[in-house]
Amino acid sequence: MSTLPQINPAEATGEAATLLAELKKNIGSVPNMAKVMANSPALLKGWMGLSDALAGGVLPPAVRERLALASAEYNRCSYCLSAHTFLGKNVTKLNPDEIERARRAESSDPHAAALLSLFDAIARARGTLDETALKSARAAGVTDAEIAEVIGNLALNILTNYFNIVADTDNEFPLVTPHQQA
């Protein structure tokens, strides 16, 4: 049971109602996470704004889904892991092997693998990255814009991972649980 209530879009008022209606219009539904985030319209607006901004960036949707899967696995967020497995499979058409690889911050695509490796290095080092990781990413063709957006996607995914873990958001997606970590 969620530690924060879900705001029913039909009963929402003020800015929460406006934001939930906008979300439904844009993606066709309102995920439980957004219903819980609506307890703070400022948070919901911030998540939607950063999500929308990064969606218009240089990283393609399949790469962003891979990054989200890597983050959800690393942070052990079942809600986000379930949501992004569903989206990866059904929206960005990642095959099951690529979904599994992404959970380990790997990919069979060399450029996606370089982005995931950088993402993972930044997450594990909590932002204190050694020069080798950046040099390796650049040698693999990762651009400055991609480096910046990898960091933006990391921030976005940490936000949603931590939020859903703390809120214990009710999962409406087929359940995917994190692998056991050593």
What pLDDT shows up at residue 1? 66
Residue 175 DSSP code = P
What pLDDT shows up at residue 182? 44
Burial of 87 (0-12, 13-18, 19+ CB in 10 A): middle
DSSP labels, 107-159: -SSHHHHHHHHHHHHHHHTTT---HHHHHHHHHTT--HHHHHHHHHHHHHHHH
pTM comes to 0.93
The rounded distance, in Å, linking the Cα atoms of 55 and 113 is 19
The rounded distance, in Å, linking the Cα atoms of 173 and 80 is 9
The rounded distance, in Å, linking the Cα atoms of 118 and 120 is 5
The rounded distance, in Å, linking the Cα atoms of 180 and 182 is 7
Within 10 angstroms of residue 46's Cβ, the number of other Cβ atoms is 14
Within 10 angstroms of residue 24's Cβ, the number of other Cβ atoms is 13
The rounded distance, in Å, linking the Cα atoms of 110 and 95 is 16
Q: Per-residue confidence of the chain (182 residues) as pLDDT tens digits? A: 678 999 999 999 999 999 999 999 998 899 999 999 999 999 999 999 999 999 999 999 999 999 999 999 999 999 999 999 999 999 999 999 999 999 999 999 999 999 999 999 999 999 898 889 999 999 999 999 999 999 999 999 999 999 999 999 999 998 999 997 64
Q: Tokens for 124, please give them.
A: 């594990």
